Structure 1
Amino acid sequence: MTWLITGGAGFIGTHVVRALREAGEPVAVYDDLSTGDRSRVPADVPFVRGSTLDGELLRRTLADLSVRGVVHLAAKKQVAESVERPLFYYRENVRGLETLLEAVADSGVRAFLFSSSAAVYGVPDVPIVTEATPCAPINPYGETKLTGEWMVRAAGRAHGFATASMRYFNVAGAASPDLADHGVSNLVPMVFERLTQGVAPVVFGDDYDTEDGTCVRDFIHVADIASAHLAAARALLDREPGTDLTLNVGRGEGVSVREMIDLIGAVTGYGAGAAPAVAPRRAGDPARVVASAERIRAELGWSARYDVREMVVSAWEGWCLAHPGARRPATAAPA
């Protein structure tokens, strides 16, 4: 039983590869390396470089590697870019998924896990987001993820494989420094970059209806994301063909942007206690998005292990590995 992990050379993908391998699950990686890093894939893991738009290569890969389960992580994921290039996002995220599902339908795949997102909820007007909260995405990225969930569910029912859609909340941290997120589109590395350059981190709006006026989010360690995929993968193999799960992957606890910036300042020693720069609100940013983690606990017996400080500490170790000059200032107080 081999699990094919599309996007397995990316930030989340390499963590999923490691979690499944350490649990004894055979894995292979399929990635176009547009954003992934081949060096992060272990040398003994079968690797195929290719696009999810290449149906012939996908069919050959599924057959040659005797794939019986797929974890589909490959996708474009930048919200702002999706607004600027919606057709590109629909091609890569929707047509690419369609092509993959067509190949899967013709193979012996028994289980299919889809990487979805809390972006499917849009701007939820509830304190805690459950899987039953209405989905109303507000950007093309979120739209492609919701469309993907529908496609995966329908294909599984029609062609007889069990499916799950995993709705991630705000991913942070690293299982080890060599697997850290080097991009600067997520809050934690974005703040690292600004602090180490000697400029104030930016808060987009400080007048929300929250305790400190900044947005509240549910941050989840990437190692917890990976362990959730392991739990879901194993659960799907015991489920009837055509069954489907839709699961939030979060901690069920909210942390404000200002609280997170303060914590990052304390952990890194840069700018501890310094006031961030306040910029205007970004269109469509909800005041609060916090997951209910009850369903994934009930269905899989899974719950998050890591707290927010552990996320920041692990991410900072990875940032320092990649940026040797970004060490804790000598005058910093211990975190």
Structure 2
Amino acid sequence: MAEETVLVTGGGGYIGSHCCKALRRAGYTPVAFDNFVTGWREAVRFGPLEEGDLSDRARLDEVFARWKPVAVMHFAALSQVGESIRDPGRYWRGNVSATLNLIEAATAAGCLDFVFSSTCATYGEQDGVVLDEDTMQAPINAYGASKRAIEDMLRDFSISACLRHTIFRYFNVAGADPDGEIGECHVPETHLIPLVLDAISGRRDAITIFGTDYKTPDGTCIRDYVHVCDLVDAHLAGLEWLRQGNSNRVFCLGTGQGFSVREVIEAASRVTGQPVPVLEGARREGDATQLVCGSTRARTELGWDPQRSVLEDMISDAWRWHQRGAYKN
């Protein structure tokens, strides 16, 4: 019997590639769909590649007809908050319009199970609270707004076309495949842990702390981190949730605790055994003091257990990958 296929948009990206590996291990054939604007061909190694853009409906129809996937796992997105403020049109086209194309192609092909990688940026500035699925959504930039719009689209298509969906909201993803096959690589890099590791390895002069006067124990911002392997485990559990006939559901993924910038830097120094060159800068506009989310629903209903989401483990796995060097498409 042939393996069932799952279409993974953004399958050459950081989270998408890890999801493809997890799908392969679970017995599916992951079909990576990517335009490689931010993804990497080198990361597509666990199943077939279909190169294309989500704005190309004909290409999507071709891929659905060829592979007949049982589900879509949608990771492809533009995700830089600052860029979304400067150029909101790019985010409404690249995230919302493109996803509408994908949803319409999926429903036309009868592929009605849809797992969506959303974001806690849909909540906007809600400082100092533990966010959950019932927290009011009030995005403050085009990135968060575009993801919120996609959530709304999924709701509407669940009514009109019986599209079943699970939605995952989360903050910072960290770590890498413990086997060292794939990892985190962005151009430009904007995520704290790889930036710290760049500073340790000499790829950048120093890491800058933006703001040291926040009302936190050490004066720096606090953020929630989830290991990428824990994250994709939740997405696979969300897929099985749908395939077992359960209803549409939203899940937040986080530890509910978070770590400060200084805590991340100090942990990286301990893990690598090397000092971290640090500069202190002014606050950045729009940075909240503390952003964390809970995961009670995911733990209870999906049985999600984020065992690798320990700061030292995330940094250790990332460091192992980091020492290999960047992808080269």
The correspondence for 2:60, drawn from 58, 61, 64, is 58
User: 2:163 & 2:65 partners in 1: Cα distance?
Assistant: 16
Gaps of 5+ in 1: 324-335
Counterpart of 2:196 in structure 1 is 191
Q: Which amino acid in 1 is paired with 2:104?
A: E
Counterpart of 2:94 in structure 1 is 92
User: 1:303 & 1:251 partners in 2: Cα distance?
Assistant: 10
| TM-score, scaled to structure 2 | 0.93
Percent pairwise identity: 37
Secondary structure of 2:324 counterpart: helix
Q: Cα distance, 1:125 vs. partner?
A: 3.3
The correspondence for 2:107, drawn from 101, 105, 108, is 105
Q: Does residue 1:230 correspond to 2:236, yes or no?
A: yes
Alignment of 1:74-223 (within 5 A): 74-175=76-177, 176-183=179-186, 184-197=189-202, 199-223=205-229
The correspondence for 1:244, drawn from 240, 248, 260, is 248
Q: Cα distance, 1:173 vs. partner?
A: 0.3
Gaps of 5+ in 2: none
Counterpart of 2:316 in structure 1 is 313
Given that 1:69 and 1:112 are in contact with CA atoms closer than 8 Å, whether structure 2 keeps it comes out as yes
| TM-score, scaled to structure 1 | 0.91
Structure 1 ranges of 4+ moved more than 4 A: none
Secondary structure of 1:76 counterpart: coil
Given that 2:272 and 2:319 are in contact with CA atoms closer than 8 Å, whether structure 1 keeps it comes out as yes
| CA RMSD, Structure 1 to Structure 2 (Å) | 1.5
Given that 2:106 and 2:112 are in contact with CA atoms closer than 8 Å, whether structure 1 keeps it comes out as no
Counterpart of 2:50 in structure 1 is 48
Given that 1:214 and 1:257 are in contact with CA atoms closer than 8 Å, whether structure 2 keeps it comes out as yes
Q: Cα distance, 1:157 vs. partner?
A: 2.4
Q: Cα distance, 1:122 vs. partner?
A: 1.3
Given that 2:12 and 2:40 are in contact with CA atoms closer than 8 Å, whether structure 1 keeps it comes out as yes
Q: Which amino acid in 1 is paired with 2:211?
A: G
User: 1:98 & 1:254 partners in 2: Cα distance?
Assistant: 34
User: 1:81 & 1:55 partners in 2: Cα distance?
Assistant: 26
Q: Cα distance, 1:73 vs. partner?
A: 0.6
User: 2:301 & 2:65 partners in 1: Cα distance?
Assistant: 31
Q: How many residues align?
A: 318
The correspondence for 1:262, drawn from 263, 266, 276, is 266
Secondary structure of 2:55 counterpart: coil
